[in-house]
Amino acid sequence: MIEDAVRLSTLVVREDSPLKIVPIPHLIALKLYAGGHKSQADIIELLVRNPDLELDEVRSVCARYGLGGLEELIAESRSVSRSAPSGSTPKDGTALLEMIHAGKAHVIRIGGAEAWERG
């Protein structure tokens, strides 16, 4: 799994660096394989922050390695996305901070990771 992720990496940190950036579907598979609450929260955040991600490709990579539990995390990411305040996204930190200060959103904890919801 790791060898495939590195082999398929086309992005590098910088031109003279040996470090590569693995494709998001492989990163999700690696985190799913690692397991645990933090990895699950990371997967949800990756899905929320990449709404144009080809989910069929993610499913295919995870299925190739016999990894289960992806569909539940996809469903969770959709519920997090739907609870996002209109006009801002989780990656829009300034708008989120303004909403928290105005009492229109608050920080919650999901499996040891911080998230936010309208309210």
Q: What is the pLDDT of residues 24-39, one digit of tens each?
A: 899 999 999 999 999 9
Q: What is the pLDDT of residues 78-102, one digit of tens each?
A: 888 666 555 444 444 455 455 555 5
Give the model's pLDDT for residue 112: 45
Give the model's pLDDT for residue 22: 83
Question: CB atoms < 10 A from the CB of 45, how many?
Answer: 17
Distance, CA of 34 to CA of 78 (rounded, Å): 22
Distance, CA of 69 to CA of 36 (rounded, Å): 12
Q: Where is mean pLDDT largest: 11-20, 79-88, 106-115?
A: 11-20
Whether residue 114 has pLDDT greater than 50: no
Distant-in-sequence, close-in-space partners of 44: CB < 8 Å, separation ≥ 6 = 73, 76, 77, 80, 110, 115
